[in-house]
Amino acid sequence: MMKLTYNLKLEHSPIFRSFLISYVLILFIPMVTGFISYYVSSDIIKSSSLEASAMMLNQSKDVLDRRMEEVENITRQLSLDQELNYVLNQQVDVDHYDVYALWKSWRNTAAYSLTNTFLEDFYIYLNNYHAIFTPSGVYVRPDDFFDLYHYEDVDPVQWKQGLLGSIHRRETLPSKPFIGNGKKSNVITYLQSIPFDSFQHSLGTAVILIDENEIAKMLERIPKQYGGWAYISDKDGHPIARVGIDDAQIQAMNIPQLISQQPGNIVEGETLLISSKSTYNGWVYVVGLPKSIVLKQSVFIAKVTWTITISTLLLGIVAALLFAYRNSAPINRIVSVFREQTGQGSYKGKNAFDFLQGNISDLLASQRSLEEELKCQLPLLEDAFVKRLLKGEFDSLQEVQTLMHSLPSMKLKRETGHVAIIRINGYSGLVSQEIIHELNAARLLIKKCLFDSSGVFQLNVTDIDSDKIGILMTLKEEAVHLEAEDMTDSLSGLFEQLREYVKEEYRIQMTVAIGGSFQSLSDSSRSFEEARGALDYSVFMEEAETIWYRDVIKESTTYYYPIDMELRMLNAVKIGELQEVHRIFEQLLAHNFTERQLSAEMVQQLFGELKGTFFKLLQHSPFTDQAVSQGLKARIEHLQLSASLDRFRHDILELLEAFCSRVLKKKEDSTGEMINKIVDFLDQHYSDSDLNLYKISVDVELPEKYISQLFKDHTGENLSDYLEKIRIKKATDLLFNSQHTIDEISQYVGYNSAHAFRRAFKRVSGVSPSFYRKTVN
């Protein structure tokens, strides 16, 4: 429910809307390109269809022009025919016809009907004979011919006067209903007076009857292809031939006027009109094509384009929502975290990006300010570190090393050296403002001279008191080969030279006390205490000088077991640092049995102090368990002081090892339990794509860095690699036992994208998921 509420809030967030609007705008770019491509292709298809139809129309026009030109040539040949001219120019006796001349002339003209399909029906009227030649015979009485061949709406008188009795020059009559030998048809009539150049008086008339269907055949391939119509009109607009349309429809559509106003290609309603005019005889050729048929391919492209566009739009919107959610969710979470952490005092900003930029800039500025402040505090931190180190306030050597590496000036090349204390003489018991100022100035001068003459030593100096300076001295990197005896001589020479210099230049007298050498920084507190003891002993000396602890300790008869050494040993045992425990105990033995000559009573007291240390350990975890406590307590009570130093060392170390072993075992058990808890958490939540160290740390209640290092130390592999193996193992089971797609499996096992899943699968398994599925199946 909470996740659903978060998703609903996210969908209404400005960041989500910004991403969504950006993706949708990007989505519209290819859509606009698709629309432009569609309209361009539609125009191209329309243009190509019209061009093809116009080309076919012009081809038909050219063919018909040639056929009509052939008709004209044939009439010209008729006018030049000698036999026909002979008959036409004869003086005819009404009672006596030259039958032979007629027959011979008819025989010559009848052959012309075979040269052109347009000449299948023609006749020649001879004025002098009042006879008519046809391909099938000769009619000496025109009325007999009219009875068989005549126009429906023309009477004999009109026929004789209008057609036979008039002069015609390449004249074409529009299509008219015609009855020929009992059959009805529509014919176009071509008239030419003979001879060809007759202007006032003709000898005869050649009449060629062209069946309208013969002309229509040349136009019908265009309507057949697109399902439209076509027709031809003469230069006066009278129909010559038509296919798929009648005269009433032509008049209703007012096509002649449209063509005359806008020749070429025009659109009238749902019809595309294509027209062409013959330059030979002025005929107008018109084709009407249904726009839906001509643009059928364009309509198909439109359907495909719209289908793809709508599908792409829907898928694109879904993808835009998904990407907008995926990309805005992390930013929203960051913004939420910033607002929770910074509260009302955070930078508001105009939008989320401005908000993040402003707050991150503030954080960086704050960080830089903190860094600068930290640089200013570094000397104080280093001084505090040296003070704590000398006073033995660190619990373990690991703590010392961790803090030392965080301080730039404290990166000591060698952890062996000495601790010295310088006391400014002549101010004991004197306290006033002037004295304090003098001591401050004296300490500064001594420190300056000390650093100037440090030589092979790396010095870390801190003020112990108003008149005392503590010095932690270790060798520099180039002098790590220096032997202990040489180092002692160098220290003695350094401080003697320093004492003489400040005495002569600044009239400052000082005493230097140097403790014994230490082999570890955690042991420097012991050297510091030794230097302090030697400094206390210096009050019994008449003249201030450089005092070594080793020269003073021989006069002491008490055992050596300071509280700071006991605390260091307790801390080392409690964290299981057996090596450190051994080192501290060996120092204790060296101080008491090598550098000192202890009486039996002092040895007994030292032994009692050590047993007391063991009893103190029993009060701390992990020794509070009753079974463990009883066993260790019994061993402590049975511990006896031996007269042999080796036996004494063996018994104490054996007991110390028992305590450390218990600590290490408890650590190992606790670590194993923690590792098991981490592994169980990973097994249960591997499918969470947002799984990270923070979530694991919350569950197991440990810091993130500690979890990562603990897992690596215990298992030998990184936690992220182990999680990847779990996910790939689950994925291989799904690839083998389910029909889920690879994208579905990638989401199920916790990957944000199929691409990341494929890369991880190939990195772990050596093959791609698809190849693995094919192999196992």
Instruction: Please give the backbone phi and psi of residue 764, each rounded to the nearest 5 degrees, phi first.
Output: -85, -45
Burial class of residue 670 in the structure, from the number of CB atoms within 10 Å of its CB (0-12 exposed, 13-18 middle, 19+ buried): exposed
Domain boundaries, the chain: 81-216, 377-662, 686-776
Instruction: Transcribe 406-435 into DSSP letters.
Output: TSGGG--S-S-EEEEEEEETT-TT---HHH
Q: Reduced to 3 states, what is the DSSP secondary structure of residue 116?
A: coil
Parts of the chain with a pLDDT under 50:
1-11, 555
Model pLDDT for residues 99-132, shown as the tens digit of each residue: 777 787 888 777 776 666 666 678 888 888 888 8
> How many Å apart are CA 140 and CA 128, to the nearest integer?
11
According to DSSP, the residues that pair with 486 across neighbouring strands are: none
Three-state DSSP string of 30-41:
HHHHHHHHHHHH
Burial class of residue 362 in the structure, from the number of CB atoms within 10 Å of its CB (0-12 exposed, 13-18 middle, 19+ buried): middle
Q: Which DSSP category does 741 fall into?
A: -
According to DSSP, the residues that pair with 210 across neighbouring strands are: 188
Would you state the pLDDT for residue 62? Answer: 83
Residues in the chain: 777
| 696-711: b (≥16 Cβ within 10 Å) or e | bbeebeeeeeebbebb
> How many Å apart are CA 119 and CA 432, to the nearest integer?
150
Three-state DSSP string of 443-512:
HHHHHHHHHHCCCCEEEEEEEEECCEEEEEEEECHHHCCCCHHHHHHHHHHHHHHHHHHHHHHHCCCEEE
Would you state the pLDDT for residue 3? Answer: 42
Q: H/E element holding 662?
A: helix 645-685
Would you state the pLDDT for residue 162? Answer: 80
Same CATH topology for 81-216 and 377-662: the answer is no
The answer for residues whose C-beta is within 8 angstroms of residue 408's C-beta and 6 or more apart is 378
Q: CA angle at residue 145 from 144 to 150, to 5 degrees?
A: 120
CATH of 377-662, one of 3.30.70.270, 3.30.420.40, 3.40.470.10, 2.40.50.100: 3.30.70.270
- Is the domain 81-216 a CATH 3.30.450 member? yes
Any idea of the CA torsion for 153, 155, 160, 164, to the nearest 10 degrees?
A: 20
The answer for residues whose C-beta is within 8 angstroms of residue 147's C-beta and 6 or more apart is none
Q: What is the pTM of this model?
A: 0.42
In terms of CATH, what superfamily is 686-776? Answer: Homeodomain-like (1.10.10.60)
- Mean pLDDT across the chain: 78
Instruction: Please give the backbone phi and psi of residue 424, each rounded to the nearest 5 degrees, phi first.
Output: -85, 120
In 3D space, the residue among 502, 412, 485, 527 whose CA is nearest the CA of residue 448 turns out to be 502
Any idea of the CA torsion for 736, 741, 746, 750, to the nearest 10 degrees?
A: -90
Would you state the pLDDT for residue 312? Answer: 81
The answer for residues whose C-beta is within 8 angstroms of residue 323's C-beta and 6 or more apart is 19, 23
Rounded to the nearest angstrom, the gap between the alpha carbon of residue 308 and the centroid of all alpha carbons in its chain is 25
Q: Confirm if 470 and 419 have CB atoms less than 8 A apart.
A: yes
Strands 271-277 and 284-290 turn out to be: antiparallel
Would you state the pLDDT for residue 349? Answer: 61
Would you state the pLDDT for residue 469? Answer: 92
Model pLDDT for residues 585-613, shown as the tens digit of each residue: 888 888 777 777 676 678 788 888 888 88
